[in-house]
Chain A
Amino acid sequence: MVAAGAIVAAGAIMLTACGRGDGAAGGPESKGEIDDKPATGTVEIWAMGNEGEVLGELAAKFEEENPDVTIDVTAVPWESAHDRIATAIAGGETPDISMLGTTWVGEFAATGAFEPTPDGLVDEGDFFEGSWNTTVVDDVAYGVPWYVDTRVLYYRTDLAEAAGVEAPTTWEEYKTFAAALKSQGATSGVSLPPGGFDSWQYVAPLAWQQGGDILDSDGETFEFDSPEWQEAFEFYASFFEEGISEPVRLEGGEIEQKFISGEVGSFFSGPYHVSLLREQGGAEFADKFAVAMVPGADTRTSFTGGGNLAVFDDSENRDAAWKFVRWLSQPETQVQWYDISTDLPSVEAAWDDPVFADDPYLSVFGEQLADSKAPPAIPTWAQVSAIVDQELEKVTRGETNVEDALAAVQQQAESIGTGQ
């Protein structure tokens, strides 16, 4: 059934695509600055997951401030969002704005379907650098970061205390820390995926922390064959080799449960786990865990993701669309948005609000965001990262060694290319 569905979807793309013949080369250009007059008309916006469910609440406030505008929110499930955007682009039936997963920007910007962010709409410097970079493809920004997500270390304070260790700041401390938690009865001192789906998000920061990167500064050459990646893979695999981490992949739902029961001593995750753990662990668990910045080498760089907002090039109401995007990225709006959605603000100024600054958990995320990095916005990243996942799994399972694995990643990444 799914294969058939995929064929149909692809076929639909082909059929509708045949009707268009502009054959435009190169990306679109911004159509000028956005003024400060109130927005008018109807703006259609697609938002995924929880954001799609609750954005209407926030949009109502924008409508109050701009009486002649109607914001039309369509909630799109994450699972079908990628296909839906692709189909919309092919068919020329796009909304005005879409929320985009940060790792999709490169792929969709390459189609030329999005308008570059107009000059002067927002100040680049207001946003976390790692987050802003997720909008930039070939030195052009498409849209603005809406909310951010970064990984920090969640750990059991009671186990750490019993073992006499404190939240780690360096790699060595991290290793000792995880081993100490394990000695307190955890099956995994730190729970890490032993390769497979999206495990690149766990290993790439280890390379970044030593100054390594995915792409060379020219933005075209992959650098998986560097000593930094070698170190990163080796360090990561050592947790399994030394038995500090159980080579078991825990999905959402399992990890909370095992963390609460003490089987998992620590793990890396985004902000949403704070409320999940409070909810599931109950009142007496609330003081048994804490969050800390990720331990590091030269830096303590973490992985950053989140959601961006991009305006389509054939938007019929582009001025109002950009005005809405600009409004959504203002610090006050972002604080309100956290209240509604628990999404973390992408604008640094919003973090001065006591909601974030005074919260022992959230303030750690704020600190971490100042040192967070996203993968390069290249169209082929999903494909390249799948190879990292695959080869890392071979290493943690002892099927291959680190040199061979990284040579394979490098070779396959080069053959896939950056898609630019």
Chain B
Amino acid sequence: MATLAPQAPARARASRRSRHATLVAWGFAAPFLILFLVFMAGPIVASLMMSFTDLTTRDLQTPFNVNFVGFENYAELFADPRFVRSLLNTAVFVIVGVPLTMALALAVALALNTGIAKFRTVFRVGYYAPVVTSIVAIAIVWRFILQPDGLLNGFLGWFGIAGPGWLQSTTWALPSLILMAVWRNIGTLMVIFLAGLQGVPKEHHEAAMVDGANAFQRFGNITIPAMRPTLLFAAVITGIGFLQFFEEPFVMTRGGPLDATLSAAMYTFNQFGFGNYSYASAASYVLFLAIVALSLIQFRLLGKKD
């Protein structure tokens, strides 16, 4: 009894304190939550509803003229060869672009983490520069490089190779844009990987060296497993970024030639521009589902706990 008596108020005090802490926490979270609900969640739900209607520009003032059409927009989307083409282009972009970016960024990060310490800052800046440069400025430079009589073909000319008109060719336009996007995205991933590499305990490497493991064995058995959370994070954000492939075709090719670089995001954007809001919403939901699916797959593959 004697021991219980002082305990009760203590518990009450503790719970009062925790209730207070909870309130403070909500207080801090509230601005974000309100903004999120109003500007993100609301529109996202509204857009989903919209994708089941026939809303176009003409109904903007008179939304009660809008009809519910069920899955008609979705059916129409998949019946449109241009949309299917845009999905395929996006898939190529993701399948080629994501692993390529990750592999190259990891290679650069490893090189920067181990060797050439003297020029480390120079290289870091060099690889990161494309990330901070405006895509429009980049596009102008790359257009010069990729013109039929541009820098790249001039360079190839020295070796007797007649290069194509990169952006004008239905075969080469997409690879050109993938190359550009990979080059642009390496910087972001490099920074993330560098941070990840620095988190790998040195002792593990030292222990493995004592046991006679060579550099490749250490990379495969220590670095990679230790980097798994970093790799997962990188794969997910890069995957999402590449699925939303937009700026490069928008600025460089407008989806051409002959839809060779038309991406799903760009198709959606065009439909919004035509005023087909409901149809475009349906297209963005297809893209949204693709992003969810890709992220789930990546979590499955990379997210396993040892």
A residues in contact (CB < 8 Å) with B: 1-4, 6-15, 17-18, 20-25, 82-83, 86, 89-90, 92, 107-108, 110-113, 194-197, 246-249, 251, 253-254, 379-380, 382-383, 386, 390, 393-394, 397, 399, 419
Contact = CB atoms under 8 A, between A and B. Distances in A.
Contacts of B65: 23
A419 B258 contact: no
Nearest to B57: A107
B143 interface: yes
Given A2-B269, A382-B274, A248 B258 contact: no
Main secondary structure of the interface of B (DSSP, over half): helix
B113 to A, nearest CB: 30
A11 B268 contact: no
Contacts of B276: 383
B268 A3 contact: yes
Interface string B162-185: 000100101000000000000000
A10 B61 CA distance: 14
B281 A7 contact: yes
Given A86-B57, A112-B61, A196-B257, A11 B46 contact: yes
Interface stretch (B20-28, B36-44, B125-133): B36-44
Given A83-B272, A107-B57, A111-B59, 10 more contacts: A2-B247, A6-B272, A14-B50, A22-B62, A92-B61, A111-B60, A195-B256, A247-B168, A386-B270, A393-B257
Interface string B122-141: 00000000000000000010
Contact of A10 (B59, B140, B272): B272
Contacts, number: 152
A211 to B, nearest CB: 29
Contact of B273 (A22, A25, A382, A393): A382
B63 A10 contact: no
Size category of the B interface is: 35 or more
Given A3-B244, A10-B50, A394 B258 contact: yes
Interface of B: 39-40, 42-47, 49-50, 55-65, 140, 143, 147-148, 165, 168, 170, 244, 246-247, 250, 254, 256-259, 265, 268-270, 272-277, 280-281, 284, 287-288
B46 A6 contact: no
27 contacts: A1-B244, A3-B244, A3-B265, A8-B40, A9-B272, A10-B50, A10-B272, A10-B280, A14-B55, A15-B43, A17-B59, A21-B64, A25-B62, A86-B57, A90-B60, A90-B63, A107-B58, A110-B58, A111-B58, A113-B60, A248-B165, A253-B140, A382-B274, A386-B270, A393-B256, A394-B258, A399-B258
Contacts of B254: 196-197
A180 B64 CA distance: 61
Contacts of B57: 86, 107-108, 110-111, 379
Nearest to A1: B244
B44 A7 contact: yes
A15 B258 contact: no
A6 B61 contact: no
A10 B148 contact: no
A197 B256 contact: yes
A378 B50 CA distance: 24
Given A11-B44, A14-B43, A196-B256, A89 B61 contact: yes
B257 A82 contact: no
A393 B258 contact: yes
Nearest to A4: B244
B275 A379 contact: yes
A3 B61 CA distance: 24
Nearest to B277: A10
A387 B219 CA distance: 53
6 tightest A-B CB contacts, nearest first: A11-B43, A14-B46, A17-B63, A110-B58, A11-B46, A383-B274
